[in-house]
Amino acid sequence: MAGGIALYGNFIPGVNAAGKDSTAVFDLQDHGGVFVMNPQTRGSSDLVRTVDNISMNIDTTDLPIGAYTVWWVIFNNPAGCSDGECGENDVLPPLVNPEAEVSVLWATGGIVGPDRSGHFSARLGVGKDAAPGQVLWGDGVTDPMDAEVHIIVRYHGPAKWDDAETLKSQMYSFQGFCTPASSFDIGTDENAFSCYEPQATMHLPSAGSMSP
């Protein structure tokens, strides 16, 4: 995820509206593992905000066939992001920007079939205790209406249908059947896949709450 986070902050989002907004889903990285920021639109992402939660729905295309996780990257205080925008400088550990109040946590997972279309939906309540799965760091969403919300689609390779536990890990954990590549990694099968983030999107906070 570190490489993915390093680039997605440069996306140009769609028009934001109070309560609900829609943005495009973009290529974040090519399928050979080289990090790129491709403005090619692959699909759409809808985010609905209430005072109690956020919920998202992503419909996208041109994904590799296989297993996926999807991750919330939440900036609860976007005004505290560095350089006037939320992105790499605020997220990457060990120097996660405390002013931005960043949290990275599991949203959902799934399998992409031969049509190469991805359909992912998730909801997240307020606070770390509301997290439905793995929390890489942070306290979850604490300000649903004013947070800047980025969503990362992570590819875990061909689905391991012959191994139920591995298949589950491919959809529920950051390092599910992935080769070690970051400070979050744990010991994995030497034949594991080199996971990467092919697509991403971002939802800005409502007008007046954005970074200057």
d(CA 22, CA 48): 9
User: Do 55 and 151 contact (CB within 8 A), yes or no?
Assistant: no
Quick one: how far is CA 28 from the chain centroid?
Answer: 11
pLDDT at 88: 78
User: For position 56, what pLDDT does the model report?
Assistant: 96
Q: What is the pLDDT of residue 141?
A: 96
> Which residues lie closer than 8 Å to 163 by C-beta, 6 or more apart?
none
How far apart CA 89 and CA 44 sit, in angstroms, is 26
Q: What is the pLDDT of residue 93?
A: 73
Residue 157 in tokens: 């390779």
State the SS3 of the chain: CHHHHHHHCCCCCCCCCCCEEEEEEEEEECCCCCEEEEEEEEEEEEEEECCCEEEEEEEECCCCCEEEEEEEEEECCHHHCHHHCCCHHHHCCCCCCHHHCEEEEEEEEEEECCCCCEEEEEEEEECHHHCCCCEEECCCECCCCCCEEEEEEEECCCCCCCCHHHHHHHHHCCCCCECCCCCCCCCCCCCCECCEEEEEEEECCCCCCCCC
Q: Please report, in tens digits, the pLDDT of each residue of the chain (212 residues total).
A: 554 544 444 444 444 444 789 999 988 865 554 555 566 788 999 999 999 999 999 999 999 999 999 999 999 999 999 888 888 788 877 778 899 999 999 999 999 999 999 999 999 999 999 999 999 999 999 999 999 999 999 999 999 999 999 999 999 999 999 987 544 444 456 678 989 899 999 999 865 333 33
Rounded Cα–Cα distance for residues 74 and 126 (Å): 12
The pLDDT, as a whole number, for residue 13 is 47
pTM reported for the whole predicted model: 0.84
End-to-end CA gap in the chain: 26
Confidence (pLDDT) at 27? 85
